[in-house]
Chain A
Amino acid sequence: GAGVSQSPSNKVTEKGKDVELRCDPISGHTALYWYRQSLGQGLEFLIYFQGNSAPDKSGLPSDRFSAERTGGSVSTLTIQRTQQEDSAVYLCASSLQGEGTQYFGPGTRLLVL
């Protein structure tokens, strides 16, 4: 596609449920990032995939958070046993290389009730 896409655009879930957020990066981009942005706040780095290297998971806030990137393309961010403090916009970005310009998707707005 022309840009980074994310789905769903909005997700409302109940506390304790698991959610899966999907990111389709720009074709050919080897680097993929997940960020979390709470209302009015900055970008909180979560995880970084670069080619075939082991992902940098240093930003994941707890073991309830995990992410996969299959075939070097699509990525899924999974949040298990969601909590109300997980409510935020989850942004995905991709770049040609790890240090290149990042192209952001529109984000998934997650609300945990």
Chain B
Amino acid sequence: GQQVMQIPQYQHVQEGEDFTTYCNSSTTLSNIQWYKQRPGGHPVFLIQLVKSGEVKKQKRLTFQFGEAKKNSSLHITATQTTDVGTYFCAADRGGNTPLVFGKGTRLSVIA
């Protein structure tokens, strides 16, 4: 079935360093969503990307959707300890089908 590959699985950074997680699909997506799960918490919606080549920013977070709508990335500039958690992408294949979540990237930030 549909798979969404997300890399890396883990990332450890020093506070102030940048961080990027990538999400790749073998098929064209209708849209892609990003979620953040803090340790001990539940996933919380961050953003949805719909258009080919779309770029959206939320403060230090930059989200991109590839031109072919098959891949996406989340980039965090100058990480802070509050960025710690697992970041999931979720792919929408269109139609009445459920979202497909990537396995997530767990970010650790060392102060």
Residues of A at the B interface (CB closer than 8 Å) are 33, 35, 40-43, 45, 48, 50, 53, 56, 58, 91, 93, 98-99, 101-107
Contact = CB atoms under 8 A, between A and B. Distances in A.
Contacts of A56: 97-98
Given A101-B33, A101-B45, A105-B42, A43 B88 contact: yes
A42 B103 contact: yes
Contact of A43 (B94, B97, B101): B101
Task: Give chain B's interface residue range (CB within 8 Å of chain A).
Answer: 20 to 34
Interface of B: 1, 30-31, 33, 35, 42-45, 48, 86, 88, 90, 92, 94, 96-104, 106
Nearest to B42: A104
B71 to A, nearest CB: 18
Contact of A42 (B42, B48, B88, B96): B88
